[in-house]
Amino acid sequence: MRQLQTNDFLPLEVPVGVSGRHIHLCEEDFAALFGPGHELTVYRELGQPGEFAARETVTLVGPRGVLENVRILGPVRAHTQVEVAMTDSFRLGLKPPVRESGDHDGTPGIAVVGPAGAINLPRGVILAARHLHIEEELARSLHLHYDQLVQVWVPGIRGMILNNVVIRSGRLELHLDTDEANAALLSSGDKVKILRP
Amino acid sequence: MRQLQTNDFLPLEVPVGVSGRHIHLCEEDFAALFGPGHELTVYRELGQPGEFAARETVTLVGPRGVLENVRILGPVRAHTQVEVAMTDSFRLGLKPPVRESGDHDGTPGIAVVGPAGAINLPRGVILAARHLHIEEELARSLHLHYDQLVQVWVPGIRGMILNNVVIRSGRLELHLDTDEANAALLSSGDKVKILRP
């Protein structure tokens, strides 16, 4: 393959946001785990406006193993969803597929335990599909559109080109899970580039 | 970037070999951990001729955490070397660099514990640089040479192109660590392709 040139890239640098394993909870599941009347409290604001890591954590119990202190991301959502890295899934003993957020057909479930109780989540455990958030105006100026798949270039000794990165609305940020970030030696805030489609 | 065509690839499929965290031990360190006179016993033959996973395991103790049941790979070597994934390194509390086998300058050490004793390894913990083993004759026929860096193409929903894959002697196999394999949804035996240099 020929060497990449400046003109092969879109003219912007994209910051990386690494997502550790986490859970989104619906109102009903949150109440079952933490007790009625309890509210999520903000531990840290996230890159996307309005989203936050909560102080509250849960325990995930899979057929093979347990993950403790799994962070809840707020605010509450319409459906509970567990996002783990493949490394985590081996520890739990699950084989979740790569899915976009909210696409839960055929995904495994898991037991989730909080301080006030446990739930048997029937489905909703996924490996999150990597995606690139971008503001609407910026996307338009770059001739990108939502749901488009692009390629992302990562520099360095573990440099790579990631295929099938889906464009999503939001504040400019490439979301990777911990396996992807560690494979590419990336940390949150590192910069990558988009190959011109 | 234009779509890749058949002619962009070298005409062969390369099986993947995923390396979990492991340790290579020198004679002296092996004796200190398992007692004098003890011999490594074969648990499973590996892809490269003569190499094997041993029944014997050790415990790695880092400044932040512990990894138990870490497999020894045999036979014994001239220098002890610990190979972990970046995910493991966070659990241990170390920041090992990406290195080729045997290149230990400036790498961190770690405490290693076996059934007969412990050693304080002064250095030798690395993230293994991904590499592609290939037989001499096959390399020659493909106009590849040892130490050359090539790009490897991975198919699928988490498809990618891996840069900086170094060519090494041995039986045809792409060696990745667990972070790289999990990021690319690859398991041992899966097939990848080499981009024509």
Of A2-6, A59-63, B105-109, minimum mean pLDDT range: A2-6
Q: Confidence class of residue B134 from pLDDT cuts 50, 70 and 90?
A: very high
Q: What is the ipTM of this complex?
A: 0.92
Among A67, A84, A87, A174, the residue to mutate for chain B (most B Cβ within 10 A): A87
Position B95 pLDDT exceeds 70: yes
- Over the stretch A129-181, which tens digit does the pLDDT of each residue have? 999 999 999 999 999 999 999 999 999 999 999 999 999 999 999 999 999 99
Nearest to A114 by CA among A37, A170, A56: A56
CB B92 within 8 A of CB B84: yes
Q: Which residue of A has its CA nearest to B181?
A: A183
CB A156 within 8 A of CB B156: no
The alpha carbon torsion through A78, A82, A83, A87 (nearest 10 deg) reads -170
Query: End-to-end alpha-carbon separation of chain B, Å?
Result: 17
pLDDT of residue B2: 67
Cα–Cα distance, B165 to B128 (Å, whole number)? 11
- Over the stretch A48-66, which tens digit does the pLDDT of each residue have? 889 999 999 999 999 999 9
Q: Which residue has the tokens 């995930």?
A: A60
Q: What φ, ψ does residue B44 adopt, rounded to 5°? A: -160, 135
pLDDT of residue B111: 98
Q: A169 has which bridge partners?
A: A134
Chain B nearest-CA distance from A168, in A, is 17
SS (H, E, C) B160-173: EEEEEEEEEECCCE
Give the CA diameter of chain A. 60
CB B21 within 8 A of CB A182: no
Mean pLDDT of chain A: 96
Contacts of B195 (CB under 8 A, 6+ apart): A1, B4, B8, B9, B10, B150, B151, B152, B153, B161
Cα–Cα distance, B78 to B80 (Å, whole number)? 7
Q: B26 has which bridge partners?
A: B77
pLDDT of residue B1: 60
CB B60 within 8 A of CB B67: yes
Contacts of B62 (CB under 8 A, 6+ apart): B91, B92, B93, B94, B110, B111
As to burial, measured by CB atoms within 10 angstroms (0-12 exposed, 13-18 middle, 19+ buried), residue B195 is middle
- The chain A residues in contact with chain B (CB within 8 A) are 1, 4, 8, 85-87, 98, 129-130, 151, 157-164, 177-180, 182-185, 195-196
Looking at the domain that runs over A6-17+130-195, which CATH code has it been given? 2.40.40.20
Distances (CA, A) of B103 to A196, B71, B82, B128: 37, 21, 12, 10
Domain spans, chain A: 6-17+130-195, 20-128
Q: Which residues of B51-78 are buried (b: 16+ CB within 10 A; e: fewer)?
A: ebbbebbbbbbbeeeebeebbbbbebbe
Among the partner-chain residues A180, A182, A196, the one whose CB lies closest to the CB of B85 is: A182
- What 3-state class would DSSP assign to A179? helix
Helix/strand/coil percent split, chain B, to 5:
15, 45, 40
The arithmetic mean of pLDDT across residues A31-41, rounded, is 96
Is A162 in contact with B160 (Cβ distance < 8 A)? yes
Q: Which residue of B has its CA nearest to A176?
A: B183
CB B142 within 8 A of CB A145: no
Among the partner-chain residues B1, B130, B180, the one whose CB lies closest to the CB of A151 is: B1
pLDDT of residue A9: 95
Looking at beta carbons, which residues of chain B come within 8 Å of A179? 87, 179, 182-183
- Over the stretch A76-85, which tens digit does the pLDDT of each residue have? 999 999 999 9
Q: Confidence class of residue A47 from pLDDT cuts 50, 70 and 90?
A: confident
Is B182 in contact with A183 (Cβ distance < 8 A)? yes
As to burial, measured by CB atoms within 10 angstroms (0-12 exposed, 13-18 middle, 19+ buried), residue B183 is buried
Q: What percent of chain B has pLDDT over 70?
A: 99
The first and second tokens of residue A59, run together, are 């325990």
Is A87 in contact with B86 (Cβ distance < 8 A)? no
Contacts of B53 (CB under 8 A, 6+ apart): B22, B42, B43, B44, B46, B71, B72, B73, B74
Cα–Cα distance, A84 to A22 (Å, whole number)? 7
Whether the predicted model's global pTM rises above the 0.90 cut: yes
